[in-house]
Structure 1
Amino acid sequence: MATEKENIENFLKERDNLIKKLEDGKLDKRSFLDENANLVEKLSMRPFCPVDTIEKGLYNYHYYNVLAKYYNDMGNLSKGRKQKCNFNKRDNYYCEKDKSLQAMLEIKNYENVEGYYIELHSARLKNSIFEVVFTDKKYAIFHSKNLGILKNLKDNSVFSEVSQKSIIDTYVNKP
């Protein structure tokens, strides 16, 4: 049985591998999302509590993001009460994802962090989704709409009001 440290290392390696495949065009967005869901299922790891390392935060962010996207898809496919239930689950998982991001920001003490709104094709989402980048860690790119996180980024002088193209623009702007 693998140790917690080995599980985290395996997750990070697999996560980086999937991101590289996406960058290289070996996976499209849908396949990338599916492979991420498969990774979470394969690892059979529960989220960490507390989040006391960046690595645990990365796992939790990833875990909750996968579940949020799954329930968003299910909500889009369902109607009525079932749709509402799926969207409630989605929103809950996005909230948990944001808690993981906030924990990582606190661990980093907002050092080597940049935040900014991202340019999106969706007019509805303009100036609501922002990107947070850990400049000292490869593939540490996060997205949120959480106003508390936004305020904390601004309070710590790491947020630019100038919208920028996302580092992963081809991913975020692909339907």
Structure 2
Amino acid sequence: MRYVQGENIFEKFFNQRQSLIQQFKKGDITKKEYIEESYGYIKQMNIKPFKRVDNFNKAVYNYQYYNMMAKYCYLKAKEIKRYEKHPELHKEYEDKVNYYYHKKDQTTLQTIELLDYYDVEAYYIKVTSSYLKENLFEIIFKNHDQVIFHSRSQWLLNKLKEEGVFKEGIRRSLIENYINQKY
């Protein structure tokens, strides 16, 4: 995709993302399809993560980029493992999953630090997965109601607790249907 002068890439990206979210909420696409479509759109846009993250939109784009790359690589790893033919390729995709999730967590911290921890809240969420139970937490930005991050990172959790933005207890996720749907 070529950049067109005057075009707002953030607006274009977030509108596309919102369209996919609406399709998912209506049941028109599955979580797997949502991930595949999001991945395809990111690749089509051909915009890599920003090296200099100096505003909220760049930070959110980077988070979405790394999150979708991780989820897509997870899908591929799962697919490859099912056929049990290429263990080295499976391992390669699993390594990519871990890399992208780590980059996503670093971006999450950058995003929160951009706001100086102001109007940020985090908490554990209720999940159906026993693997994620008391492990997955949600991060919300009170002045940006469409922006919801998730993580399992212990170092990030510790930082959120240290800064006083992590609230104890378990709550329902603001996007519970998405979180609890397998893919």
Partner of residue 109, structure 2: 102
Post-superposition offset of 1:17 = 2.3
Q: SS at the partner of 2:146?
A: coil
SS in 1 for 2:134: coil
Tell me the alpha carbon deviations over residues 127-154 of structure 1, each in whole angstroms, 9 at most, x when there is no partner. Answer: 1111001111132001101112111211
1:115 aligned to 2:117?
no
Task: Measure the CA separation in 1 of the matches of 2:111 and 2:8.
Answer: 20
Q: Is the 8 A contact 1:16 1:139 kept in 2?
A: no
What corresponds to 1:25 in structure 2? 27
On the 8 A contact 2:36/2:72 being kept in 1, the answer is no
**2:139 match:** 132
Cα distance between partner residues in 1 of 2:113 and 2:122 = 14
Q: Look up the SS of the partner of 1:139 in the other structure.
A: strand
1:102 Cα deviation after fit: 0.8
Q: Structure 2: any 5+ residue segments left out of the alignment?
A: none
**Matched residue SS, 2:140:** strand
The 2-side partners of 1:55 and 1:89 are apart by 24
TM-score of the two chains, using structure 1 as the length reference? 0.92
Q: How many Å separate the matches in 2 of 1:5 and 1:108?
A: 26
Question: In the alignment, residue 28 of structure 2 is paired with which amino acid?
Answer: K
CA distance in 1, matches of 2:7, 2:66: 20
Q: Secondary structure at the match of 1:73?
A: helix
Cα shift readout 1:67-92 (whole Å, capped 9, x = no counterpart): 11111112112242221111001100
Match of 1:74 among 70, 76, 97: 76
Counting aligned pairs with the same residue, the percent is: 31
Query: Counterpart amino acid of 1:24?
Result: K
Give the partner amino acid of 1:157.
G
**Alpha-carbon offset, residue 12 of structure 1:** 1.8
Q: Which runs of 4+ in 1 moved over 4 A?
A: none
Aligned to 1:157: 164
Instruction: Pick from 7, 10, 14 the counterpart of residue 8 of structure 1.
Output: 10
Shift in CA distance, 68/3, structure 1 to aligned 2, threshold 3 Å: farther
SS where residue 163 of structure 1 aligns? strand
Q: What is the alpha-carbon root mean square deviation over aligned residues? A: 1.6
